[in-house]
Chain A
């Protein structure tokens, strides 16, 4: 069970004379159960890449395999792919349209053609997962707060019970509490429901804490691929492409350069603090 991209290229505006080569020869394998952070500067091709994964856009060249099947095959059911690879867009709250929260969440399952009972069950479960209480089920989604709207929108995708969940900047514009809530939810989904998650973000701090594999994109290419500790070794390269590394990791790196004895490869702020404490104690 995996997604595999082979020599994938994507070019915007073919034939207009203003072609933009958004993805260049991407080769990538995403395994089941991974929690991937996809980082890159604005315009690096992140959003284009994720839209290829569920077939919303078609690669200009190259092949994508989902569970070993070529999704560009004529007989391949694109509709079912979209239910298996759930994609949450940037600012997903802008896609809400129904009269009540529960109806909006049911839109996805309804399109899958599920029976009424199953549809409702999945929607209730999804709303519960994202922490929307029963008292909000029958209110208009347009009256909710920004953070609530976003959680409802994410529930709309979760109710389709995807095997892979792709989120494009899910915490953009949220306050720290809202951010931790959503990222915490993703972690829970990953560990408890065993969903493969691909988290797109340009905030290294957000990604570092949660993911177990990082992909860094620059100008349409994947330049770094590995676990966060390994990727953060390339501090210079990351800074050159305008990303940098989390503040806490940077402090550790600089202390080590100055001769401090810091063990391991701490990633999160807490781990870094612990590592520095250990060094100070000795």
Chain B
């Protein structure tokens, strides 16, 4: 049942990409996404695809895990593609039927827009597949540290994120348990109209909220007992440190963005 839900989508493996500093992966993903908007011709897409293919190969993540990320956005993808197809005006008209006009430019734009969206999604998928949620929060904390200067509580936000992530599996398990307990008392969650179904959820939600509040207060107490006082002067057990492969990764990214920009400027198609 609910137990089967996995949070995040980390795919455990031993690869160069997995071992990279999470900050590198966050920055690289960001750069990759920006790079997707630096060109508007076929050669750019080929370069982006080749580069991404190499990264996937290096990460040892099976390809079907990567494409899985597209599934939830398939509707949006079709919608955007359709919009681009129908609303792009151009000179070379392919089909004209009533108010529908399809142009060559429209087809081109549709294909490119869809490709761009797909690259965007699978690009960030690769990051979440190779980085644990905790590493991600660490990276975000470290990358946003400069914002401390303008009084943004970066550490606290990161701490809240990691606590939230930590609690998701616990609460999922708890929900599963409460659901079963109420089913053992004859509760039925599967039949009835929508209002009835929502009403039937009350015996799950109240115990769940009660337990979440209890756990939160226990955790707060435990943190207090360990003299937790926020980020100031706090050191890490596993501080993030750039190593040689991380530097190389940054250089590779720099090289990639240079190639993409030059290609965008000088290659005709």
- Which A residues are within 8 Å of any B CB, using their own CB? 12-13, 16, 51, 54, 56, 79, 82-83, 86-89, 92, 94-97, 107-108, 111-112, 142, 156-157, 160
Contact = CB atoms under 8 A, between A and B. Distances in A.
Contact of A111 (B174, B185, B210): B185
A51 B180 contact: yes
B181 A82 contact: no
B196 interface: no
A115 to B, nearest CB: 15
A89 B203 contact: no
Nearest to A107: B185
A51 B3 CA distance: 15
A111 B178 contact: no
Contact of A94 (B183, B187, B207): B207
A104 to B, nearest CB: 9
Given A94-B207, A97-B202, A97-B206, A108 B186 contact: yes
Interface residues of B, number: 20
Contacts of B202: 97
Nearest to B206: A97
A89 B181 contact: yes
B182 interface: yes
Given A89-B181, A92-B181, A94-B178, A112 B207 contact: no
B184 interface: yes
A237 B210 CA distance: 42
Nearest to A113: B186
A88 B184 CA distance: 8
B249 to A, nearest CB: 29
Contact of B178 (A12, A51, A86, A95): A95
B184 A94 contact: no
B8 to A, nearest CB: 15
10 contacts: A13-B4, A16-B4, A56-B180, A82-B185, A89-B180, A94-B177, A97-B206, A108-B185, A111-B187, A156-B185
A94 B207 CA distance: 6
A111 B188 contact: yes
Contacts of A97: 202-203, 206-207, 210
B211 interface: yes
B186 A82 contact: yes
Interface string B160-185: 00000000000000100110111111
Contacts of A92: 181
B183 A82 contact: yes
Given A96-B207, A97-B206, A89 B177 contact: yes
A83 B181 contact: no
Nearest to B186: A111
B203 to A, nearest CB: 5
A194 B179 CA distance: 29
A267 B183 CA distance: 37
A89 B187 contact: no
Contacts of A107: 182, 185-187, 203
A214 to B, nearest CB: 24
A97 B202 CA distance: 8
Contact of A142 (B182, B187, B210): B210
A45 B115 CA distance: 49
A160 B186 CA distance: 9
Instruction: Give the top 4 A-B pairs by smallest Cβ distance, nearest first.
Output: A111-B186, A97-B206, A95-B181, A108-B185
Contact of B185 (A16, A51, A160): A160
B183 to A, nearest CB: 6
Nearest to B202: A97
A95 B178 CA distance: 6
Contacts of A51: 180
A89 B184 CA distance: 9
Contact of A157 (B4, B185, B211): B185
Nearest to A56: B180
B234 to A, nearest CB: 34
Contact of B186 (A12, A79, A88, A95): A79
Contact of A95 (B3, B4, B188, B207): B207
A79 to B, nearest CB: 7
Contacts of A157: 184-185
A51 B177 CA distance: 11
A108 B207 CA distance: 16
A59 B162 CA distance: 36
Contacts of B177: 89, 94
A42 to B, nearest CB: 15
Nearest to B178: A95
B210 A56 contact: no
Contacts of B174: 94
